[in-house]
Amino acid sequence: MRIILAHKFWELTGGADVFFRETERVLREAGHTTQLVATGTPAADDPENLMLMQAPKYDQGGALNKARHLPAAIYDKAKREKFRALIREFRPDIVHIFAINVHLSLSIIDAAEAEGIPIVATFNDYKHLCPNYKLYDGKDICFACKGGKFYHAALKSCCKGSRALSAASTIEAYVHSAKKLYQKIDHFTFSSDFLAQTTQEFWPDRDLSWSKLLNPFDSAKYEATKAHQPYGLYFGRIIGEKGVDCIVSAADKIDGFPIKIIGNGPDEDMLRAQAAERGLKNIEFLGPMWGDALDEVLSQAGFVIVPSTWHENFPYVINQAFAFGRPVVGSNRGGITELVDHGERGLIFEPKDPDALPKAIQHLAENPDEMLRMGRNAKEYSDALFNDATSLKNLLKAYEGGKNAFAHHRG
């Protein structure tokens, strides 16, 4: 099979970029012919099957420069034509898009449609429903834009707290809606049932063709052999919707049980100051860590805490925790509950209940045998589900779904 895979970034900036690259690797190693499309700066070690395009400079310079580049950030006609030429040259069986908004452009959907190629889309956030990606207005879960009422994003300034960015994102959502770009996608893949159900709730009149596709991840290569040390661990961005403040608030209710926090972000200094002011000796901020350094701390943790306050669909940190046989204490949000399965691979708590997280931490701290059982369950679940064979099977299922939906609606 010949597949074009398109994503906004070639540079690795987060889990979505890893997903894109690993999906291509799984397909290529299985003998399929792939073509990568992304934005970025060319480098000597770029793969031969990579086409790089230039992202619009909408966030640089003054107001005049931003306004000049805004149309391309919303719908880039030049990228549409360049992508259409690539399709004619490469002759794919499937176009598989990932996160392509702004930097790459949803205009490439029109290119694929014009050339009669089935389109499969992998979405792991809510950009197709919500101008700020998260269904979260900075304070709480928000469904205000449901029904195409995207103006709420501008009214709430919920896109990174910026009025200008929120206004631009609102315009973007209305343009994409008017052009019916999402309706031209034949098949969707989602990383959680929650994301699929929410999409169907927002689009009640659409016959949605979808399947589940989880991150390609080789869980078996990680060993769950190290002893569980008496500490809980958070690792990731330290930003409002990640709920790290819930951990700091819980720290004086867990009888001194140690919690390590790895990462950085806009809320780090504030939370460090709060911990110091309250004299919390059991909270340790370790700063950002990657690779072997992170694995060393993670592989010895008693459990991992994922306290997100927004509807996260598939936090990559849960992948990593389970691969090392560590159970997860996760919030009742998005796809977290599906992965953890309360009582099986960890515990689920209500993030709005100030006593729920400390109770969950205390429970595992005081019941090490139960913690070990959940960790074993997590490792078995992870190894069975996260491997190349399963990823390839689910990819091919999605492509078949794309072809069938294409034949039904456009063929």
What's the CA gap between 383 and 144, in Å, rounded?
39
The whole-angstrom separation of Cα 305 and Cα 356 is 13
pLDDT at 411: 60
Other Cβ atoms less than 10 A from the Cβ of 293: the count is 12
Q: What value does the mean pLDDT take over residues 283-299?
A: 95
Q: How far apart are CA 4 and CA 6, in angstroms?
A: 7
Residue 308, CA distances (Å) to 99, 168, 291 in order: 21, 27, 23
Assess contact for 109 and 185: CB atoms under 8 A. Answer: yes
What are the backbone angles phi and psi of residue 293, rounded to the nearest 5°? -65, -45
**Contact call for residues 164 and 171 (beta carbons, < 8 A):** no
Spatial separation of the C-alpha atoms in residues 84 and 74, rounded to whole Å: 18
Average pLDDT over residues 248-268: 95
Q: Which two tokens stand for residue 68?
A: 């000049």
318-338 average pLDDT score: 96
Range 219-385 has CATH code 3.30.70.2740: no
Nearest one of 64, 40, 70, 35 to 52, comparing CA atoms: 40
How does pLDDT run across 182-241, given as a tens digit for each residue?
999 999 999 999 999 999 999 999 999 999 999 898 999 999 988 889 999 999 999 999
Tell me how far apart the alpha carbons of residues 270 and 277 are, in angstroms, rounded to a whole number. 11
Sheet with 210-212, strands from edge to edge, namely: 50-53, 33-39, 2-9, 94-97, 119-123, 187-190, 210-212
Residue 63 pLDDT greater than 70, yes or no: no
The answer to whether residues 11 and 17 touch, using CB atoms and an 8 Å cutoff, is: yes
Quick: pLDDT tens for 107-146.
999 999 999 999 999 999 999 999 999 999 988 999 999 9
CA neighbor of 241 nearest in space, from 312, 297, 317, 167: 312
Q: How far apart are CA 36 and CA 51, in angstroms?
A: 6
Q: What is the pLDDT of residue 215?
A: 87
Nearest to 112 by CA among 100, 128, 123: 100
Burial class (CB in 10 A: 0-12, 13-18, 19+), 62: exposed
Domain ranges for the chain, please list them: 2-217+387-409, 219-385
Neighbour-count burial of 407, counting CB atoms closer than 10 A to its CB (0-12 exposed, 13-18 middle, 19+ buried): exposed
77-90 vs 107-114: helix axis angle to the nearest 10? 40
Task: Give 66's pLDDT tier (boundaries 50, 70, 90).
Answer: low
Would you say the C-alpha torsion 364, 369, 370, 376 has a positive or negative sign?
Answer: positive
What is the Cα–Cα distance from 399 to 411, expressed in whole angstroms?
Answer: 15
Q: What percent of the chain has pLDDT over 70?
A: 98
Whether 393 has a pLDDT exceeding 70, the answer reads yes
The CATH T-level fold of domain 2-217+387-409 is Rossmann fold (3.40.50)
Q: Which phi and psi (to 5°) does residue 190 adopt?
A: -125, 155
Tell me, what's the pLDDT at 127? 96
Mean pLDDT over the full length of the chain = 94
Whole-number CA gyration radius for the chain: 22
Amino acid at 140: D
The answer to whether 2-217+387-409 and 219-385 have equal CATH topology is yes
DSSP-based three-state secondary structure for 153: helix
The pLDDT confidence band at residue 6, using thresholds 50, 70 and 90, is very high
The amino acid at 30 = A
What SS3 class is residue 26?
A: helix
With a cut of 90, say whether residue 380 has pLDDT above it: yes
Residues counted in the chain: 411
Mean pLDDT of 74-86: 97
Q: What is the structure's pLDDT at 225?
A: 87
pLDDT over 70 at 62, yes or no = no
Tell me what the mean pLDDT of segment 153-172 comes to: 93
Q: The tokens 């708590």 sit on which residue?
A: 349
pTM of the model: 0.92
Task: Decide if pLDDT at 58 tops 70.
Answer: no
Round to whole Å and give the CA distance between 9 and 14. Answer: 10
pLDDT score at 68: 78
